[in-house]
């Protein structure tokens, strides 16, 4: 997938050029995963979680089954842990929610 290469090269224009072609033609787990990685790389962890969840549950892989389950679960877990670690004491309820989400991913 060309989008993967352009994401690694940090060529945002070319990345979006290719990933959006996949999105408008029905989308795949791979495209959603790449979008998740893009947002994770720029530290927008909430948006990354949305795309990793889409890779897991809203789309299907076309090249590699790991993009439909194993890889997005791993990345979701990491994002939830980062988000939980950034919470202040007054956000304990949200921290508890992230903890529950992490536990669900481990099942």
Give residue 8's pLDDT.
Answer: 95
Q: Are 44 and 36 in contact (CB under 8 A)?
A: no
Q: Looking at the predicted structure, is the pLDDT value of residue 6 above 80?
A: yes
pTM of the model: 0.85
Give residue 51's pLDDT.
Answer: 97
Neighbours of 62 (CB within 10 A): 16
- pLDDT one-digit tens code per residue, 38-52: 999 999 999 999 999
Q: Looking at the predicted structure, is the pLDDT value of residue 26 above 70?
A: yes
Q: State whether residue 9 is helix, strand or coil.
A: coil
Q: Looking at the predicted structure, is the pLDDT value of residue 106 above 70?
A: yes
Q: Are 80 and 101 in contact (CB under 8 A)?
A: yes
């Amino acid at each position: 997938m060309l989008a993967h290469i352009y994401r690694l090269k940090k060529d945002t224009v070319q990345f979006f050029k290719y990933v959006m072609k996949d999105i408008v033609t029905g989308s795949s787990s791979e495209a959603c995963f790449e979008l998740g990685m893009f947002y994770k790389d720029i530290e927008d962890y909430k948006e990354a979680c949305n795309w990793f969840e889409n890779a897991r549950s809203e789309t299907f892989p076309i090249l590699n089954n790991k993009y439909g389950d194993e890889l997005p679960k791993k990345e979701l877990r990491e994002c939830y842990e980062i988000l939980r670690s950034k919470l202040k004491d007054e956000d304990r309820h949200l921290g508890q929610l992230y903890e529950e989400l992490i536990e669900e991913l481990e099942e």
